Amino acid sequence: MPAICLVRSIRLGRWPEHLGHATGAFAVWEESLDSSASCLAGSGRYNITRCWGLGPAVHVVFSAPRHTSEELAFPLAYIMAMAPTKRLQLAGFAVLGVIAFGGVGFKLVMGWPWFDCFYFTVITITTIGYGEPAGMNQHGRYFTVILILVGVGTIGYALTAAARAVLEFELVSAIGRRKMYKDITKLSGHYIVCGCGRMGVRIVREMEKRGAEFVIIESDEGAADRLLSQGYLVLMGDATTDEVLKGAGIERARGLVCAVTSDPNNLYITLAARDLNKDLFIVARASDEAALNRLLKAGANKVVSPVITGSNQMAQMLLKPAVADFIELATMTDMLELEIEQIEVRPTSPFIGRALRETNFRTDLDVIIIAIKRSDGEMIFNPSADTMIKENDALVALGSHTNLEMLERYTNVGSPAVSTPPSKSS
């Protein structure tokens, strides 16, 4: 029995008993959510088909593909419990069925031309009534009475279903937007992804995999709806406008990705974002090589050209396949348990002012420091054992995901504490 129910969150296997089978109702339930599972509602199993939002404000749409004998015994209750789109479709098919029934019936009973049958059917079920046509016999009058009873009821149901569907759509949309905005206002230090096409989708998946908080700005309604159904925070609008960027919390954001396909739009987004947040880290996409310098001048910290990056990688694979294989294995985490991670050295780190040899990163954590980026932008590749660690350095480390997480906790005491690193001998 398909159904729509908007909740803040729900505990699996539990449903507010006072709702019973009442669908289309709106409830508030403060628990946890697992969007990949299902929950029980009355005597039917309701699968989660759509959810959006983060934290304690998660909105969910449920549907039940299985029907019980009780539900099938009451077709009217079953119909009214349908999702709005399904009810609209059913109402449309019912109206077309009545018109076809009336047209064929008048053709068989009265023998009129097809258009006359269609015309008299329409004016009958819509209760317009221009009077009885000439030649109407007793059998035609009997059939007209049946058509009036069936047709007027069908038209009434269709109008009711349309009004109810519009109302539910508006309620879900308004409540969903309000709750989503509340979720966004709670974010701080998050990321903003402008444009979620083929490149943007991969960026979002990578950020989700790493547990980063982010907001997506998408101008295409269909794409935005798909992203919402996957549980992401999405603002539908033009990312080149200040209002939309402010709605995504750009003043509190840590970084922004310009991933739309248009270079001029990426340029406008970069200019607007830099003006709203001077400390924002901006990564922009450039489809045309000529746009690289313009985006950097507009305020982008980094500019990526898929054409240049892809061609360089292909040349590397052709000329230096061993090097290309190593880079691919180190960066494509799905292929090997090996990652390259950036570890920031915060002011509270106990390693500030100490040499790499004194940290025992390699021996205790099995992690290799392949580069150090200083706060002034200087990059030290393959640092020696005597290289000193300074405040606000960025350690570029190579190792497994688990060991890199331990390194970050060990390096910065502000994170969950790890008093001593695990030793291989222990």
Q: Give the tens place of pLDDT for each residue, 298-356.
A: 999 999 998 888 888 888 888 888 877 777 766 655 555 677 888 889 888 889 999 99
161 and 54 within one domain: no
Q: Is residue 389 part of a domain?
A: yes
305 and 379 within one domain: no
303 and 233 within one domain: yes
The letter for the amino acid at 215 is V
Identify the band that residue 210 occupies on the pLDDT scale cut at 50, 70 and 90: confident
354 and 290 within one domain: no
Report pLDDT for 278. Answer: 93
Q: How many CA atoms lie within 13 A of 220 on its CB side?
A: 11
Q: Is residue 178 part of a domain?
A: no
Backbone angles phi, psi at 78, to 5 degrees: -65, -45
DSSP annotation string for 108-166: HHH---HHHHHHHHHHHHTT----PPTT--HHHHHHHHHHHHHHHHHHHHHHHHHHHHH
Strands of 339-344's sheet, edge to edge?
A: 339-344, 394-399, 368-373, 379-381
Q: H or E segment at 368?
A: strand 368-373
Residue with tokens 């580069």: 371
Which of 309, 328, 352 lies at the terminal end of a domain, its last residue? 309
Give the residue-averaged pLDDT of 78-94: 72
* Direct distance between the N- and C-terminal alpha carbons of the chain, in angstroms, rounded to an integer: 57
92 and 38 within one domain: no
What is the tens place of the pLDDT at every residue in 403-418?
A: 888 888 888 865 443 3
58 and 6 within one domain: yes
pTM score of the predicted model: 0.51
213 and 105 within one domain: no
d(CA 187, CA 225): 21
CATH number of the domain within which 368 lies? 3.30.70.1450
Report pLDDT for 4. Answer: 36
Report pLDDT for 60. Answer: 42
Report pLDDT for 54. Answer: 39
d(CA 103, CA 124): 11
Identify the band that residue 282 occupies on the pLDDT scale cut at 50, 70 and 90: very high
Which of 13, 133, 11, 21 is closest to 82 using CA atoms?
21
Report pLDDT for 204. Answer: 92
d(CA 389, CA 349): 10
Report pLDDT for 180. Answer: 64
Q: What percent of the chain has pLDDT over 90?
A: 29
Q: Compute the chain's Rg from CA coordinates.
A: 31
d(CA 203, CA 197): 10
d(CA 398, CA 338): 7
Helix axis angle for 138-185 and 114-125, nearest 10°, is 60
Domains in the chain, number: 4
Which of 237, 242, 238, 239 is closest to 275 using CA atoms?
242
Lowest mean pLDDT among 44-48, 140-144, 386-390, 410-414: 44-48
273 and 201 within one domain: yes
Identify the band that residue 166 occupies on the pLDDT scale cut at 50, 70 and 90: confident
Q: What share of the chain is helix, strand, coil (3-state, %, to 5)?
A: 45, 15, 40
The letter for the amino acid at 225 is D
193 and 166 within one domain: no
Nearest-10 Cα torsion for 193, 195, 200, 204: 40
Q: Is residue 321 part of a domain?
A: no
367 and 406 within one domain: yes
Task: Determine the structural domain holding residue 59 and report its residue range.
Answer: 1-68
DSSP annotation string for 239-262: TTSHHHHHHTTGGG-SEEEE--S-
Which of 68, 93, 114 lies at the terminal end of a domain, its last residue? 68
Which of 165, 184, 164 is closest to 176 using CA atoms?
184
Res. 20: pLDDT tops 60 = no
Q: Is residue 44 part of a domain?
A: yes
Report pLDDT for 222. Answer: 83
Q: Is 364 helix (H, G, I), strand (E, B) or coil?
A: helix
Nearest-10 Cα torsion for 304, 310, 311, 316: 110
Lowest mean pLDDT among 119-128, 163-172, 217-226, 271-280: 163-172
194 and 305 within one domain: yes
Q: Is residue 305 part of a domain?
A: yes
Report pLDDT for 73. Answer: 41
Q: Is residue 331 part of a domain?
A: no
Write out the two tokens for 250: 């750009």
Q: Is residue 252 part of a domain?
A: yes
What is the tens place of the pLDDT at every residue in 240-257?
A: 999 889 988 999 999 999
Report pLDDT for 220. Answer: 86
DSSP state of 358: G
301 and 374 within one domain: no
Q: Is residue 245 part of a domain?
A: yes
For the chain, what is the mean pLDDT?
Answer: 76
Q: Is 193 helix (H, G, I), strand (E, B) or coil?
A: strand
CATH number of the domain within which 118 lies? 1.10.287.70
